[in-house]
Amino acid sequence: MQNDPQPTDLGDVRVANRAVVLRHVRVHAPCSRADIAARTGLNKATVSSLVGELIERRLVRETGLTENRIGRPATMLVLDGEPYAALGLQVGADELAAVAVDLGGNRLLTWRRAFAAPAATPAETVRALAALARRATARVAGEGRAVLGLTVGVPGLVDAAGCVPLSPALGWRDVPLADQLRAALRDPDFTVAVDNEANLAALAEQRHGAQAGATDLVHLTGGAGIGAGAIVDGRLLRGSRGFAGEIGHLCLDPTGPACACGRSGCLEALVGLPAVVRRLLPDTAEDGPVTDFLPELDRLKALAGQDDPTVRAGLAETGRHLGHAVAVLADLLNPEAVLVGGHLATLGPWLLPAARAELAARTLAPEAGGCRLEASTLGGIAAALGGATAALATVESGRLPVR
């Protein structure tokens, strides 16, 4: 790994300065060239040159707005959302989702299609992802936008090359997903990347969620797998090989049910969607493995809403396991908030009261160190939205898009 200082050439400085200008415009738009110079410390000539280049490449545009100051009025700048789009995909327990955003982060499309990846082979999943990606890129290209990149979120371990060494939730081992998807898309001229779904969901929370802008937060995914994506000090916590956050396989009860990873009593085996449905709706297994969880989630919500004592008690118990795991995260990372997604958000009204009580009881710091436990507001597509956000990173880091 490159931890030693590297020589910096003028090109690198320009890329870094371009990133500073883009970030300033994203956060403070509309703003003038003079504002950018005053707030970033870059000199006016540099700002003027960088802005000229960003306008020429249609990453930034001038608005008609002017701000009257002492002296002369200034032309205001905003990000130009029009010419570019980024895509995010996610693989869930029973569906694939696709989200496209423009450079300004505005949602261009949100698609979900039924697909039971845990019951499919990796090759079938790659084909389904490629078909969805082709349709989404055709749609945004038809609107005259160039695709900057595509990032797929999957439950499980993902290495830096976009390979999935292990996903218990999908039953995958050593799937070179990024390479296979790139090949299925016939080597497109945009980047194709793969990341852990919880990491991407955490990026989406940081940019678009109810806690947007928080420097310390965790998104805990609910669905096929349970994983934690942690933003620590404003940055995604990845660990040495990129495998940080696998709290789904934290053992909470050694005598608990068997987990897909081969051990017993893991968080995922207690609060994962398949586990909850198996435990609270035992009759569903009579028709074979569940490939569509939506009807079962609706049944659970209806029974809980009718005060069914077995379901209410089962969800409270699930909530206590969830709170136990969140307490580990709170003690370890002291986040401002833990946001739960997927079925954990859908069943939040019945899970979260018990989970919050458990969180408060188990953390060392008073009031759980200020950690709030809430349902995510991103509606089940957090990983896809985060994937699209991540796909903007190349441009946001100051690299100009390929012409």
Give the binding site for Zn ion (CB under 5 A): 249, 259, 261, 266
Q: Which is closer to Zn ion, CB of 262 or CB of 366?
A: 262
What is the distance between the alpha carbons of residues 113 and 119, in angstroms, rounded to a whole number? 15
DSSP 259-309: -TTSSBSBHHHHHSHHHHHHHH-GGGGGGSS-S--HHHHHHHHHHHHTT-H
Cα–chain center distance at 247:
16
Minimum gap (Å) between residue 250 Cβ and Zn ion: 8
Minimum gap (Å) between residue 226 Cβ and Zn ion: 9
The H or E element containing residue 350 is helix 348-362
Q: Which is closer to Zn ion, CB of 236 or CB of 259?
A: 259
Minimum gap (Å) between residue 244 Cβ and Zn ion: 16
Minimum gap (Å) between residue 285 Cβ and Zn ion: 20
Minimum gap (Å) between residue 168 Cβ and Zn ion: 6
Q: Which is closer to Zn ion, CB of 145 or CB of 249?
A: 249
* Closest to 383 measured CA to CA, from 23, 27, 87, 131: 87
What is the distance between the alpha carbons of residues 95 and 291, in angstroms, rounded to a whole number? 9
* Closest to 106 measured CA to CA, from 144, 139, 80: 80
Q: Quick one: tokens of 145?
A: 């936008």
What is the distance between the alpha carbons of residues 251 and 369, in angstroms, rounded to a whole number? 23
Sheet with 217-220: list strands edge to edge: 235-236, 228-232, 217-220, 337-340, 372-375
Q: Which is closer to Zn ion, CB of 132 or CB of 228?
A: 228
Q: Which is closer to Zn ion, CB of 209 or CB of 223?
A: 223
Q: Which is closer to Zn ion, CB of 18 or CB of 249?
A: 249
Minimum gap (Å) between residue 198 Cβ and Zn ion: 15
